[in-house]
Amino acid sequence: MGFAKKDILDMESLSADEITIILDIADRMKEISKRPIKKVPTLRGKTVILFFHEPSTRTRTSFEIAAKRLSADSLSINFSSSSMVKQETLIDTVQNLEAMSPDVIIIRHAASGTPHMLARLIKSSVINAGDGMHAHPSQSLLDLMTVREKKGKISGLRIAIIGDISHSRVARSNSIGFTKMGANVVLAGPPTMIPKGIENLGVSVSYNVDDAICDADVIMMLRIQKERQKDFLFPTEREYARYYGLNRKRLTNAKREVLIMHPGPINRGVEIASDVADGPYSIILEQVTNGVAVRMALLYLVAGGARNADTN
Ligand code: CP
């Protein structure tokens, strides 16, 4: 099998072979979601806790659906309904959860590095569902799966990731993930939203969106993450949309078979026009569908399904 990781924390710590194993298992998991009875007994008797300290629609729902489709017992807790509102620390909270013998804790947190710290403290597997501006490995894996499915390969493709690169854990994880799988990644956006030294990830940088998209096989648009910005990084949303947003006119410069992606949530009319987000090149909702399959694969691999059962 070749996959022995306890935790899924970031794309740096996954090898190209491990990523391929995850994507291959996710392809098989996807078939389960097309059956009339969308459930297999693979993780029966396993317990999965989702612990989200930041809002989420796609990641949280798809992890929960993934756990249920594999017959794991899953439960979800929020910061606002936990005893952390009574000043219990995160470490105490997680150690108390660990005392109830979960097999996997899935965590989203605003502070970069939180899942890594918890993974060192507890025996349960930890899956990072997004930590601050650092990493979002399951998003990157579902993006890789979707591109591989649509294009038949990843290696050699040109991937343009456009928008608020500085604050995006998706941009960081995808820069690492796509580069590791042999793609060429170009990051584009306003100079105020591209961190210095990002080329060290093996990517190239452009401040001109038209240059970035003209020879791209995949265009991935990113939301402006106002909740993480301390300063004003662009004059107005209207101006941002004009110079950095993807609209139908700008898309005429792209390749005919280009794929349009977005991790969500979308700010329609800002980074992407509605007719592009909903148009023929968009695979945004296919990303969401594949999110369930990838998260089923991750739970299967870390919760011992690979060792203890098959997927039938
Ligand atoms: N892509 C993503 O992480 O979406 P959510 O914040 O809705 O989970």
58 within ligand 1 shell (Cβ under 6 A): yes
Q: How many whole angstroms from 237 Cα to the centroid of ligand 1?
A: 22
Q: How many whole angstroms from 56 Cα to the centroid of ligand 1?
A: 5
282 SS3 class: strand
User: Among 45, 48, 66, which Cα is nearest to 102's?
Assistant: 48
Half-sphere exposure of 309 (CA within 13 A, CB side): 18
pLDDT at position 229 over 80: no
**Rounded percentage of the chain residues whose pLDDT exceeds 70:** 94
Give the separation between CA 159 and CA 300, rounded to whole angstroms: 29
Specify the pLDDT at position 308. 47
In the predicted model, what is the mean pLDDT of the chain? 94
Give the separation between CA 40 and CA 31, rounded to whole angstroms: 11
96 within ligand 1 shell (Cβ under 6 A): no
Instruction: Over range 10-17, report the average pLDDT.
Output: 98
Half-sphere exposure of 191 (CA within 13 A, CB side): 0
pLDDT digit string (tens) for 169-227? 999 999 999 999 999 999 999 999 999 999 999 999 999 999 999 999 999 999 987 66
pLDDT digit string (tens) for 17-38? 999 999 999 999 999 999 999 9
CB 249 within 8 A of CB 243: no
Q: How many whole angstroms from 288 Cα to the centroid of ligand 1?
A: 9
* Ligand 1 atom closest to Cα of residue 55: 6
Model's pTM, two decimal places?
A: 0.95
Q: How many whole angstroms from 308 Cα to the centroid of ligand 1?
A: 31
Specify the pLDDT at position 79. 87
183 SS3 class: coil
Q: Considering only CA atoms, which residue is closest to atom 4 of ligand 1?
A: 58
Domains of the chain: 16-136+288-308 (3.40.50.1370), 137-287 (3.40.50.1370)
182 SS3 class: coil
pLDDT at position 305 over 90: no
Residue entry with tokens 């949280």: 60
Specify the pLDDT at position 310. 47
Q: Considering only CA atoms, which residue is closest to atom 5 of ligand 1?
A: 56
pLDDT digit string (tens) for 36-68? 999 999 999 999 999 999 999 999 999 999 999
Question: What count of residues does the chain have?
Answer: 312
Q: How many whole angstroms from 136 Cα to the centroid of ligand 1?
A: 9
233 vs 192, residue with greater confidence? 192
Specify the pLDDT at position 224. 87
Which pLDDT band holds residue 1 (cuts at 50, 70, 90)? low
Instruction: Over range 80-99, report the average pLDDT.
Output: 94
